[in-house]
Chain A
Amino acid sequence: MIISVENLVKKYNGYTALDGLNFSVEAGDIFGFLGPNGAGKTTTIRILTTMIKADSGNVLIDGHDVFREPLAVKRTINALPESSGYYEWMTAREYLEFFSCLYEEKASKQEIYKLLEVVGFHGKEDHLIRSYSRGMKQRLGIARALVNRPKLLFLDEPTNGLDPKGRRDIHDLLIDLNQKHSTTIFLSTHLLDDVERLCNRIAIINYGKIVRTGELDRMKGKGTIEDIFFMSTKEGTL
């Protein structure tokens, strides 16, 4: 198990965002994390990536306690948050070099060029980030998330705002990462098409609780992914 979450609780000013969350993710999964707006997806990702603390519960990432060993967790994981900003005055190469320096094993110039090639930067690595399109910035964000060759990658709406070709390219990249490099991917998204194409296991969260979890192929036997989603998240389901 690369992720183990037990009884996770998080409250904001009396409002319960996570209400005893329980789930796990196996190494090598592309794990889809679905839920309606306000269900607790982003809060969950933020806790798992050590951005915020929970009120109670246990979270282990690759055997490390997220609350007690945040630095060890950060060495193992990386993430592309939903709304990510960039240092617009840098080039893509400078940006990745900077983040690479913050890890123990600094990537060489060749490795950085290769990484940029993998995410689809062709000859634009020395352009200023402020001149990039949204799709290019998204690719750069993924490149940054891969700079430390993480075992576990968190992606929050990675194809948001991309055109169909851009989405397809990101899909191919993620499948490639998972199959060739054994990277576990934790994918939070609204786009059920993405889930269908990428994920082998999913969990559906609603009102801070997991309402359904399991292998996608098995779940699809009971209807389309859309049916499963709406059935799991309609009012009164809990």
Chain B
Amino acid sequence: MKPAYIMQKEIKESILTPKGFLWYILTSVILSVLSYLFLTNSELSLLDQGEMLYMIMNFITALGVLIGIVFGADSFAGEIERGTLEALLLSPVNKTEIAIGKLGAALTNWGIIFVISLPYLFVVGKGAQNLLIGIAYLSILGTLLVITFSAFSMGLSARIKSMKNSLIISFFVFLLAGSPIFLSAAQRGTWFGRILDFINPFADAINTFDSVVIDSQGFSYQIERVVIICCYTLLSLWFLKKSASRLEM
């Protein structure tokens, strides 16, 4: 129950203060601009519906992960810097329970972002044959990625105790995970590029979206990538548990 109270407190803070709500508004504005760009641009609007759906799914995943990283970096280090963590640690809640509550709040944020994204997905993906299955994969893989990066960012926050530094490191890790996507198809096709792609959870998610939405491939094609993403999620959760339990003022 105690993690639930902490989660409730965090969610209230997101909803009642501009700190959280600004992210929701920004997400909506970004998705509005992207959708309009996709659908009205002279060349992009003539992309296959499936391709547009795939591209917007990637953006939604990236946004969700970025917001998770920011909230994660603030989770422990932000409270230390504001002087509020000590009061929380004085109460009979163990540090793992605090971490669970905060992670629950990060996931709820992702849930809100996902709900905000749904109308855009339906509008951009209208007519695409794999719209619903694409949304299902986005909900599952997006959730796993948000847990992975949020937990990692929270763990760093608990270890480094500096919001700025944990945010910078988390952001660089995110860029590293996202960097293969910026390489050309030829570069990713080399043996080293293929290995990097395979072990990278972000690339695994994006390649799964491609496989499901554009190539209409079934779950059996996705198993390996989903398993890798799950492994990263478990690793991140373990890192968070270890970091939170070692947290000292």
User: Which residues of A pack against B, CB within 8 Å?
Assistant: 46, 49-53, 70-71, 74-75, 77-79, 81, 83-87, 89, 98-99, 101-104, 141, 144, 148
Within 8 Å CB of A49, what residues of B?
90
The docked-state distance in angstroms from the alpha carbon of A144 to that of B86 is 12
The interface centre, meaning the residue of B5, B84, B86, B87 with most chain A CB atoms within 10 A of its CB, is B87
B9 lies within 8 A of A51 (CB) = no
Within 8 Å CB of A98, what residues of B?
5, 9
Q: Contact flags (1/0) for B82-102 with A, using CB distance below 8 Å?
A: 111011011111100000000
Within 8 Å CB of A102, what residues of B?
2, 5, 91-93
A sample of 8 more A-B contacts (CB under 8 A), given A81-B83, A81-B87, A102-B91, is A51-B90, A74-B90, A77-B90, A86-B83, A87-B13, A99-B87, A102-B92, A148-B91
Q: Which of B17, B82, B86, B94 contacts A71 (CB 8 A)?
A: B94
B84 lies within 8 A of A86 (CB) = yes
The docked-state distance in angstroms from the alpha carbon of A83 to that of B83 is 7
Q: A214: shortest Cβ distance to chain B, in Å?
A: 29
Q: Give the nearest-CB partner of B81 in chain A.
A: A85
Q: Give the nearest-CB partner of B80 in chain A.
A: A85
Q: Contact flags (1/0) for B230-248 with A, using CB distance below 8 Å?
A: 0000000000000000001
A103 lies within 8 A of B91 (CB) = yes
Whether B185 sits at the interface, judged by CB under 8 Å, is no
The docked-state distance in angstroms from the alpha carbon of A86 to that of B16 is 16
B91 lies within 8 A of A51 (CB) = no
Determine chain B's interface SS by DSSP, over half rule.
Answer: helix
Within 8 Å CB of B87, what residues of A?
81, 84-85, 99, 141, 144
Whether B249 sits at the interface, judged by CB under 8 Å, is yes
The interface centre, meaning the residue of B9, B86, B91, B249 with most chain A CB atoms within 10 A of its CB, is B91
Q: B115: shortest Cβ distance to chain A, in Å?
A: 23
The docked-state distance in angstroms from the alpha carbon of A70 to that of B83 is 21
The docked-state distance in angstroms from the alpha carbon of A31 to that of B34 is 64
The docked-state distance in angstroms from the alpha carbon of A148 to that of B13 is 24
Q: Contact flags (1/0) for B15-45 with A, using CB distance below 8 Å?
A: 0110000000000000000000000000000
A52 lies within 8 A of B249 (CB) = yes
Q: A98: shortest Cβ distance to chain B, in Å?
A: 6
The docked-state distance in angstroms from the alpha carbon of A104 to that of B9 is 18
Within 8 Å CB of B92, what residues of A?
71, 74-75, 102-104
Q: Give the nearest-CB partner of A52 in chain B.
A: B248
Q: B75: shortest Cβ distance to chain A, in Å?
A: 14
